[in-house]
Structure 1
Amino acid sequence: MRIDRPAEGECAPYFEKYIAAAATSIEAGGHHDIVALLKAQPAAWHALLDAAPPSRAQYAYAPGKWTLAESIVHVSDTERVFAYRLMRIARGDRTPLPGFEQDEWVPESRANRRSLADVLAELDAVRAATVALVASLDEAAALQVGTASGREVSARALVWMIAGHQAHHLELTRTHYLAR
């Protein structure tokens, strides 16, 4: 099923940047829709990082910034949260869903004790689960609306936010973690 780009207002304004990043990635990568982008992004991570030296996992591009491993685990964690919200909302659950504090989660992830290959394998597994969830959606499910972090959000906006968040971090990885 094709999942059209959400209309403005289907998510909090902060997340519009991720929807825009997904749209840009679809156009730039020659993907025909958001599902194709979701399926292609793991290969993009591997193209960037499979040849990176193991020490790159603990590299932070500036003082106070996350290491590459922390950044990748953050992407996995955020995708899990967004996918959980997607499942609940697509299934018609109207229970307001809480926010999460990414900056508190990162140190607790202990990502710096893990190899780059390990955090990438986790990211692959998370994405495979997300793709399976998205494949289960029909049009009615994609249009469901719920509340997360105190704001209304549609299921289809969450699909686009997942892809866009990853697109954002892929670009950060290219420009900040691997540029030196």
Structure 2
Amino acid sequence: MTLTIKRPLQNEYPAYYLPYVNQVPENAEIMQTLEEQNSEIRSLFAAIDDDRAEEAYADGKWTMKELLQHMIDSERVFAYRALCIARGEQTPLPGFDENMYAENSRANDRLLRDILEEYDLVRRSNMCMFRGFDSTMLENVGTANGKQITLRGLIYVIAGHERHHINILKERYLK
């Protein structure tokens, strides 16, 4: 049976995630969106070599490798939160400092193909996990970074965060 994950209401996630959720088209089927993003990332990076992937679009900005690693790290954090909330965890979950994670990622010391493989595995693993959720779980509420969020809200945040960074990649790095 295929689970339909309806768009979350604005009270299902913190207001600072609204720009991400708004990145997901109104009538999108979220699991299809997540799958399409995986393909899009692989396509965008297909013609980029390691040297080019270590370039930033401006001083002080992340390189493409660091951006991709940030997407992986963020998805892992969001997915861990999703797992906890799905399982009924009521302990508040911590936030994370994405700049510290990027600084300590050593992404530029890795091969782009290895980072892309990690990205693909993380995305596919999370999609498998999401398929195991049921409609009751999607309504579960947890606390992450001091704010309440539903499981459904987190799944949309993952897709919206990804779309945000795909747009940055296209507009600032790949012009």
Deviation of 1:52 after TM superposition, in Å, equals: 1.5
Q: How does 1:85-164 map to 2 (within 5 A)?
A: 85-164=81-160
Deviation of 1:151 after TM superposition, in Å, equals: 0.2
> Could you tell me which residue of structure 2 aligns to residue 43 of structure 1?
39
Deviation of 1:169 after TM superposition, in Å, equals: 0.8
Deviation of 1:40 after TM superposition, in Å, equals: 1.3
1:69 maps to which of 62, 65, 70: 65
CA contact (8 A) 1:57 1:115 kept: no
Could you tell me the percent identity over the aligned residues? 39
Tell me the TM-score normalised to structure 2 length.
Answer: 0.95
User: 5+ unaligned residues in a row in structure 2: which ranges?
Assistant: none
> Could you tell me which residue of structure 1 aligns to residue 11 of structure 2?
9
For the aligned residues, what is the CA RMSD? Answer: 1.1
Structure 1 residue identity aligned to 2:4: R
Deviation of 1:82 after TM superposition, in Å, equals: 0.2
CA contact (8 A) 1:60 1:66 kept: yes
Distance 1:157 1:82 in 2: 10
Tell me the TM-score normalised to structure 1 length.
Answer: 0.93
Secondary structure of the corresponding residue to residue 147 of structure 1: strand
Distance 1:89 1:100 in 2: 17
Deviation of 1:46 after TM superposition, in Å, equals: 1.3
Q: Deviations over 1:122-143 (max 9, x none)?
A: 1101101110111001000011
CA contact (8 A) 1:2 1:33 kept: yes
Count, aligned residues: 173
Q: Which runs of 4+ in 1 moved over 2 A?
A: none
Deviation of 1:23 after TM superposition, in Å, equals: 2.3
Q: In the alignment, does 2:77 pair up with 1:56? A: no
Distance 2:172 2:111 in 1: 19
Q: Deviations over 1:143-171 (max 9, x none)?
A: 10010000000000000001111111111
2:164 maps to which of 155, 162, 168: 168
Deviates more, 1:74-83 or 1:53-62: 53-62
